[in-house]
Structure 1
Amino acid sequence: MSGNLPAELTAFFGRHSEQAALASALATARLVTVTGVGGVGKSRLAVRAAAAIAPRDGAWLVELAPVRDPDLVEHAVASALDLTDHTSRAPRQVLLDRLGGRELLLVVDGFEHLVDATASLVHELLRRCPGLRVLAAGRRPLGTAGERVLPLAPMPEADAAALFTDRAAACLPGFAPSGHDRAAVLELCRRLDGIPLALELAAGRLRALSPGQLLARLDDRFRLLSGARRDVLPRHQTLRTAIGWSHELCSPRERLLWARLSVFSGPFDLEAVEYVCSGDGLHADDVLDVLEELLAQSVVAREESPTGVRYRMLDTVRAYGAEWLEGAGDAARMRRRHRDWYMGLATWCELDWFSPRQAEVATLVECELPNLRAALEFCLTDPDETHLGQYLAGTLWFCWVGCGRLAEGRHWLDRAVELDGAHGDARLKALYVLGYVAILQGDTVPALCALQECQDEAERTGSAVAAAYAVHRLGCLALVTDDMPRAERLLRTALDEYRRIGELNSNVLMGQVELAMALAFQGSLGAAVELCEDVRRVCEDHGERWTLAYALYVLGYAAWTRGERALARDLVVRCLDLDHTFHDLLGAVLAVELLALFTVAEGDAAEAAVLQGVAARLWASVGLPLFGSEYFGGPHALCEAQARERLGDERYESQVRVGAELAPGAGVARALRHRHGRVPGGRRPGRGEASAPAGAPETAEAPETAGAPETREPAVSPTTRGGETAG
């Protein structure tokens, strides 16, 4: 016996780690199953791995896809092994007799529609034939004892692009995409989920279409990718039939859940599935069992996330399910249920933002953004859902402002307020959040228009909550445009109104910090410190850390003016650490500006210039540097003047360029580490140094890049941040 593995006719790309993992598994286990969605490359990988092993009696491929009758599985295996027997013995007995003393590898491919019969045979063969190993490739595991399962993921972008280019060159000799074509190829690979079958089918279309034209037609991927080759299995001749093969193997309840899961965008968790997808033929108590079956069949993939176990469908698989959902006439109802779940999630997150779970909320919203976007899109494109879209866009203020997504928030809020909603309170909320976001972006005219409209309408309708928020935001606008007396008056008015109506949340606390800034800029430093100490106490009582960062910023500035340099640095480093945790670029860059001033005063003008370069790069991602404000720009101007004087213009500019070349995460990490030129951040103060504020966690040294996004939207201004309530 020598084997029957087919020779490779086309180049094999990537999969280096998968090949190594498969070889390692086959060295220690006698049954290894490669699983994955249709067309992902399971068969090709299995055959290549088998060819590399070369057991004494060969590697033998058994293709079970054409077999329909479970009773014929044993005959198919015997035929693939070229075993002939004309006696009346059962085929299984023939296999046991012939394989008992041999050392060979059996590659069983395409068994998923015959899983019970295949598993029974494989189990007995392995038990009775000690020299046998089995490598199976299918859309689900065999589920027998001793099985090692290796899920095969789609190809990464670079390997997918190489595969696509190679197959395209077979159709168009010399094909080597560059420029716009290269970008289109990369986007094609992403949109097709890195599925080799889909990429090969798409490459075949380049006989008639350019990469850009192919990309433009990809929304109808199942019709487009139907260029069959004669040398492939029928189930792989088009993308539709490849995915449809999995669909045929599903039970009615599994098909129903597959269709309903198509309303999710990006990862989702079990609780969301149980709420959105249950009912009308699928009881909530049965959802987990059915989901596990879809996982077993590689229709759904499991993944770990910072918020726990989540599930994901490839876009191609989701698109197939969406067609079935539309065909069943149930798409609109399921999208409303999806919207309801994520509306509730956003409301819960808004309320929980003012709690010890604030960081957890930020992480959860990051994971749920694709589904929140889908819910917003659904609401804002259906006239009957407009008011819910306005409410959702406003409710997510903490995401836009607190988690560094101002530009995206502006997109949704602009769309929301352009629409007329049946519920005025929802539109008012969207208006005052829009005004706030526009202020933070330095877009003062639209901010003023939105806030004035909100204030006028709130007074007309008697909405005390919206009126208070409008006044507060107008106070923020005055603060960043250097009108400190007006800022003080408006902020005091808003805080009084918040107390009257019973508001206590991050917004109220931020209003106090903003009032403290207005007072400090007018010379009332003692009153500013008193306000921020109160904010710090409330934050520590409630576990709030986002607003705390800005109280520490003001307290650090105040400590510096009193000559308490060690305390000032500890406070502002802690502020920067918190801002970095929340991806708050605007809060972070203001803290870096203060730390640069502290550093030049401590005698290290070169490092101060580097930090100013770090700040310059951050401001480019945030907006108008220092709001164009003389008050907020004071520390920067003083630091620059002193550093230039000590270094000279040429060296100062050189050091600034050093900082500006650092990636944002690395620049922030440098600012967190630097103390008096050498001492890393996070150590305890030495003898004679002031310690951090009571109750403030010790600063942890940040890694150079871990957790630091290279390019993120600005979070919020430390002078203009606040929160909305669920009202």
Structure 2
Amino acid sequence: MVRPRSGLVGRPDARRAAAALRYYWTGCGALSEGRHWLDRLLAADSRPTAARVRALSARSRVLITQADHAAAAECTAENLRLARTLGDPLLLATASYEAGAAVLMLGGDLARAHALLEEAAAGLAGSATEALTAAMTLTTLALTTLHHGDPAGAQRLCTRAQQHCRERGDRWWLAYSLHASGVVAAHQGAPEEAEAYAREALSLHNEIGDVSGSVAALDDLADAAASSGDDERAARLIGGSFEIGLSAGLDADARRRYWRGRETPIETIRSRCGQERFTAAFEDGRRMGLDEAVAFASGTVPAREPVVGSEPAGVPLTRREREVADLVAQGMSNREIA
């Protein structure tokens, strides 16, 4: 994979090069790396140019994927102000999408998020250079549409996004649009349909090496398992997604998906399992690496017997990340941990 070198920071084309790597950083589990380089590049050159808008756009997407909601809101607000000042319609539409997504993820003013996403969709319609962002906008707009009580309209937007991706051979965002369809199905009381969408999304994420997307699919499948009454399976999937997410650079103190936070389903599963059974299953999930977690979620291998005292597989975590995972297993909420 191509990654920035230390000498890139001072070069005139540095921000453009970094912006071009945004899909690698967000799609391949290199979130911490991307944030590091983008922070350095943006600090080194603060000129109000189109190149800065593109770099802020890349940073916004990294922050949204990490679920660092406060930082994402701040970054997207700066990006939107600068895009409006420059007056480039395509840059403005892209910045509007990211600002709307950040507000939605934060759980803020959903009417404002919806308006920003509608503005983005109008500006991106028919764009050849930002076709992927157009599909992303339709998917995110589907979720604000669902929040506004229109599940049929939300599903129509998901279908448009999926068609958009299929016509262009884009599997990466197709998987995320399937997540959104699963959210709509779950909201309409169709858990089996929601699970089918999540399984298809997980397969696509895994095929293309999208770690962050795989984590989201594992979360969705944990919800499906809980809905069907298999709470221990749900706890294993949550443990797996939690550990893999930490390794990929997702923010463990503030992880939140587009539709709802993780804390409520985790607490529901824990209360039904009991603390001891939940912790054992959660820790078993943490010991699964990505490949094993995907195989378990897909139903191709059974869960292993819990192994007391063994360390989770995957990338070594920081002390804080390890503490957070341990505290979640013990029953502390995100607010208590923070």
TM-score by length of 1: 0.39
Question: Which residue of structure 2 lines up, in the alignment, with residue 81 of structure 1?
Answer: none
Rate the CA distance shift 1:526–1:569 in 2: closer, same or farther, 3 A. Answer: same
**Which of residues 238, 257, 266 is equivalent to 1:612?**
238
1:492 equivalent in alignment to 2:118? yes
Check conservation: 1:593, 1:611, Cα contact below 8 A: yes
1:433 equivalent in alignment to 2:64? no
Check conservation: 1:617, 1:664, Cα contact below 8 A: no
Secondary structure at 2:261 match in 1: helix
- Tell me by how many angstroms 1:566 deviates: 3.6
Question: Which residue of structure 1 lines up, in the alignment, with residue 166 of structure 2?
Answer: 540
Secondary structure at 1:373 match in 2: coil
Question: Which residue of structure 2 lines up, in the alignment, with residue 641 of structure 1?
Answer: 268
What is the identity percentage for the equivalent residue pairs of Structure 1 and Structure 2?
26
Check conservation: 2:4, 2:18, Cα contact below 8 A: no
- The amino acid across from 2:252 in the alignment is L
Check conservation: 1:416, 1:427, Cα contact below 8 A: no
1:265-280 equivalences in 2 (<5 Å): none
**Which of residues 195, 199, 203 is equivalent to 1:577?**
203
**Which of residues 31, 35, 38 is equivalent to 1:413?**
38
Rate the CA distance shift 1:651–1:373 in 2: closer, same or farther, 3 A. Answer: same
Unaligned runs of at least 5 residues, structure 1? 1-365, 679-708, 714-727
- The amino acid across from 1:433 in the alignment is A
1:711 equivalent in alignment to 2:315? yes
- Tell me by how many angstroms 1:672 deviates: 1.7
Higher normalized strand content (fraction of residues): 1
- The amino acid across from 2:4 in the alignment is R
- The amino acid across from 1:511 in the alignment is T
Equivalent-residue separation in structure 2 for 1:429 and 1:587 (angstroms): 23
- The amino acid across from 1:542 in the alignment is R
1:373 equivalent in alignment to 2:1? no
Equivalent-residue separation in structure 1 for 2:286 and 2:314 (angstroms): 13
- The amino acid across from 1:528 in the alignment is A
- The amino acid across from 1:616 in the alignment is F
Matched pairs, number: 305
TM-score by length of 2: 0.79
Higher normalized helix content (fraction of residues): 2
1:477 equivalent in alignment to 2:122? no
Question: Which residue of structure 2 lines up, in the alignment, with residue 623 of structure 1?
Answer: 251
Equivalent-residue separation in structure 2 for 1:521 and 1:488 (angstroms): 9
**Which of residues 256, 260, 267 is equivalent to 1:632?**
260
- Tell me by how many angstroms 1:639 deviates: 5.9
Question: Which residue of structure 2 lines up, in the alignment, with residue 394 of structure 1?
Answer: 19
- Tell me by how many angstroms 1:434 deviates: 1.7
Question: Which residue of structure 1 lines up, in the alignment, with residue 324 of structure 2?
Answer: none
Rate the CA distance shift 1:654–1:575 in 2: closer, same or farther, 3 A. Answer: same
- The amino acid across from 1:391 in the alignment is R
Deviations 1:250-277 (A, max 9, x none): xxxxxxxxxxxxxxxxxxxxxxxxxxxx
Equivalent-residue separation in structure 1 for 2:20 and 2:192 (angstroms): 40
- The amino acid across from 1:520 in the alignment is L
Choose between structure 1 and 2 for higher RCO, CA contacts under 8 A separated by at least 6 residues.
Answer: 2
Secondary structure at 1:710 match in 2: coil
Q: Which has the larger radius of gyration?
A: 1
Secondary structure at 2:283 match in 1: helix
Rate the CA distance shift 1:465–1:661 in 2: closer, same or farther, 3 A. Answer: same
Equivalent-residue separation in structure 2 for 1:408 and 1:549 (angstroms): 23
Equivalent-residue separation in structure 2 for 1:449 and 1:557 (angstroms): 27
- The amino acid across from 1:605 in the alignment is D
Rate the CA distance shift 1:585–1:625 in 2: closer, same or farther, 3 A. Answer: farther
Question: Which residue of structure 1 lines up, in the alignment, with residue 92 of structure 2?
Answer: 467
- Tell me by how many angstroms 1:445 deviates: 4.2
- The amino acid across from 1:665 in the alignment is D
**Which of residues 115, 128, 132 is equivalent to 1:506?**
132
Question: Which residue of structure 2 lines up, in the alignment, with residue 66 of structure 1?
Answer: none
- Tell me by how many angstroms 1:475 deviates: 0.7
Check conservation: 2:179, 2:197, Cα contact below 8 A: yes
